[in-house]
Homo-oligomer: A and B are copies of this chain.
Amino acid sequence: MTGTRTPRDAAPTEIIDATTRTVEQDAGRAQALFRATGSGGDGVRSDIRIGEHAVLVDEPPALGGGNAAPNPVQFALASLLSCQVVTYRFRAARLGIPLDDMQVDVEGDLDVRGFFGLDDDVRPGFGAVRLVVGLRGQASEEDYQRRREAVDAHCPVLDLVRHPTPVTTRATS
């Protein structure tokens, strides 16, 4: 994130306070740029670099891969799952609700006729996604419900999935 100065492994409340102060002083410092770069390797796999991290993405044999790693749409679900975890942690801290463990299950329905171009009325992406979040802690049912609504309103990847995001694409050779 751009411009925040926080201690390593700071607790969410400290980060919220520090970010609030930083952004109040200069809203421009709220602007973050995230990047990934990768190459198409053998078959359908991708070798991706994200900062210092390497991520491998593949497909199962039925989609032309060697099953060396999850596939792109599975990573999309993992992205959503993990974003819920982060957002719950931060909103729990902000709302002062105790949260010990979390368990998240996510699934998505995909009709492959869209990807394969076999039916123009079928979208290539997920037709529906379902998220179930198990929360364990010392809070009441009402507190958990309140937290869920706050999380769903502020989760970056849930927003990405639920709402349109403008994308420009360019091919070079």
Contacts and interface: CB of A to CB of B under 8 A. Distances in A.
Interface residues of A, number: 132
How many copies the complex holds: the figure is 2
A139 B173 CA distance: 9
A39 B85 CA distance: 8
A77 to B, nearest CB: 4
Classify the interface of chain A: helix, strand, loop or mixed. mixed
A154 B124 contact: yes
Contact of A65 (B9, B20, B153): B9
Contact of A85 (B46, B90, B132, B171): B46
Interface of A: 1, 4, 6-12, 15-16, 19-20, 23, 27, 30-40, 43-46, 48, 50-53, 55, 57, 59-67, 69-90, 94, 101-118, 122-137, 139, 141, 144-145, 147-148, 150, 152-173
